[in-house]
Amino acid sequence: MLNVIIADDEIQIRKGLRMKIEWEEEGFQIVEESSNGQETLDLLKKLDVDVVITDVRMPIMDGIEFVKQCHHEHSNVKVIVLSGYSDFDYVRSSLVEGVKDYLLKPVAPDELVEALKRIKLDIEEERKRKIETDQMKRLVHNQLEEMRGQFLLHLVKEEWPELTVTIERLQQLQLEDLANENVHVQFVTVEVRGTDRDPNKVKELWLPFRMLCKEIAKEHGGTYSFYDASYANMIHFIHRVDSNQLDTKSTLIKKVQRHVKEFLNLETVIGIGKIITGLTEFKNGYISALLSWSQSQLSSQSQVIEGTINKDVFEFSADVEKKLINTIENENHEAFKSNIYSILGGMNNQSIMSFSIIANRVLFLLGSLARKYDIDTIEVNNMIWSCQQSIWELNSQNRVIEQLINLAQSIIEKVHEDRSSTNGVAIVENVRRYLDQHYASEISLTTLADQFHINSAYLSEIFKNHIGQNFSDYLISLRMNHAQALLKDKQLKIIDVAHLVGFSNSGYFSTVFKKQIGQTPVEFRNSTDS
C-alpha cells in the first residue's frame, strides 16, 4: 500500500479528492492532509510518504515552491500538481523538476486513477531496480570481503610473494591498517560450542555467527575477521594494536562473548595470541592464538585463554621456510628429514611452546604445498589433522616430528608423479589453479615456472596445449571476468577495480579492458544501468 498526502488550502477540495476514487482498491492510502507547502514538508520529515497531490495556489508556500524543495529534500516522493484552468498551461509548461503529473481542476476520477496507476508502476519499477542494485552491491561487497579474508588466510598459511608486493596487495584490498611491514597486531581465535543436547545447533547457526563476527570487526577500527576451513566452528580476528593489547577484559573480547550468547545462545572459547611486530610474523601470531585456544577445557562453557608465549618462540625465519620448501619441491626427502631434526630435534634448548609454534609453521608450510599440488585426499587431510592434534597435546614432540616427515614424503611422491606425467596435464592443472587463486598478484611466466620448479619454455608449451590459450591471454581473461563483476558496484572507483584485479595503472587497465570487452570500464559500468 502506497502512502499519500493531499495538500490544498481548501478543505472541501481535500474531502472531494478523498471521495473521488476507491483509494485502497488502487493500492493507495491517504495518511495525512495539509493546507500549504510548508506544512507538507514538515509532514514528510515525520512520515513515510510515496505520493503528494498538491494544489498550485496555496498560502505560506505555494505548490511550485513546494515541489522544488520536495525534490531537493525528498527526491523519492512522487508529486501530482493540481491547477485551475487559468494556470494549467503555465504550470505544465514550467517543467518543474520532480513533478510526476499535472491534472486540471476539477479533477476527473478516471484521470486521477490513471495518474496514480502510472506512479504506482514507476514506484514498483524503481523498487525493483533498487533491490537489484542493492543485491549487486552486496554481491560485490561480499566478493571484496571474501577476497580480503582469503588474502589474510594466505598471509598466515601460504607461501608469500615479496614483502613489497604483499604491502601493495593489502592496500589494493583496502586493508591499509595492516599495510605496514612493522605493524603491531594480535590474532584472536573464536570457537563456538553448543551443548550435547543439541549437537546440530552450531552447524545451523554457523552463517549467523560468521556475519556477527564481521559486524563486530567493523565496529573496531583496524580489526578484520577471516575463516580457516582447517578449523571447524572457528572465526579468527586480526587486530591492529595501537597502544593497549587485547586481554580478557578488552571490549572486543567481551562483545564477542556477549553477542554470541545473547543473539545465538552459543558459548564461545576464545584464544588470544601474543602481540607480534611485522608482517613477516603474522604466521607466528596466528599460531599463538591457536595454541592459546588449544589449552581450553573440553566443556561447553565459555572460556578466554591468553597466550603466555616467551620471546624465544619466534625463531622460524623466511630462509628456513624457503629451505624446507626447496627440499620438498626438489624431491629430497633426506634433506627434509635432516632439516626437521635440526629445527625441532634439539628440544633441550627450547620450550614446549616454542616447539609447538615452529611445528605448526612447518605443518602450515606442508599444508600449503599440499594445496599447491592438489593433494586434497582424505588420507593427506587426515595426516594433517592428526599432526595438528599431536602438536596441541604439547607432550608428543617425537610423534609430531615423525608425522611431519611422513606427510612430507606423501607430498614429495605427488610432486614426483606430477612431473613424471608424459603430457604435463597435472602440472598445468596445478598452475591453472594457482592462477585462479592469485590472478591479482604480480605474476609472470618466469615466476610461475620458478614456483613449480620447471622450465618456463616447457610450461608455456604445455599450458597452451591443454588450456587452449597462452599463459598471458588466460591471465588477462581471468582478470577481465573479475573486473566486470566489480565494475557493477559504483562505490568502487575505476582505479580500485584495476588494483583489485592486478593492474597498478588504471590507464593500462582501461586499454586492456577496451581491447578485451569492446568498451571502456566507464562505458561498461554505464551500460549495466540501462
What is the per-residue pLDDT across 22-37, written as a single tens digit (0 to 9) for each? 999 999 999 999 999 9
For residue 249, what pLDDT band results from cuts at 50, 70 and 90? confident
Measured over all CA atoms, what is the biggest interatomic distance in the chain, rounded to whole angstroms?
Answer: 102
Contact (CB, 8 A) for 329 and 415 = yes
Q: Provide the pLDDT confidence category of residue 243 given band limits of 50, 70 and 90.
A: low
Q: Is the separation of the CB atoms in 272 and 245 below 8 Å?
A: no
Which is higher by pLDDT, 155 or 308? Answer: 155
Three-point CA angle 94, 97, 103, nearest 5°: 60
Q: What is the pLDDT of residue 506?
A: 87
Once rounded to an integer, what is the mean pLDDT over residues 279-287?
A: 91
Least confident of 76-85, 184-193, 416-425, 458-467: 416-425
In terms of average pLDDT, the best of 91-100, 155-164, 347-356 is 155-164
Res. 107: pLDDT tops 70: yes
Nearest Cα to 212, choosing from 170, 265, 143? 265
pLDDT of residue 60: 92
- What's the chain's average pLDDT? 87
> What is the structure's pLDDT at 127?
87
Its sign, for the CA torsion 18, 24, 27, 29, is positive
- Residue 197: the pLDDT is 67
Give residue 332's pLDDT. Answer: 93
pLDDT above 50 for 225 = yes
User: How confident is the model over 459-480, as a mean pLDDT?
Assistant: 92
Res 421: pLDDT: 72
Averaged over 248-273, what is the pLDDT? 93
Most confident of 229-233, 256-260, 288-292, 356-360: 256-260
pLDDT at residue number 314: 47
What's the average model confidence in pLDDT over 511-522? Answer: 93
Could you tell me the pLDDT band of residue 90, with boundaries at 50, 70 and 90? Answer: low
Q: What is the pLDDT of residue 31?
A: 94
Give Cα separations from 406 to 66, 256, 331 (angstroms).
79, 39, 13
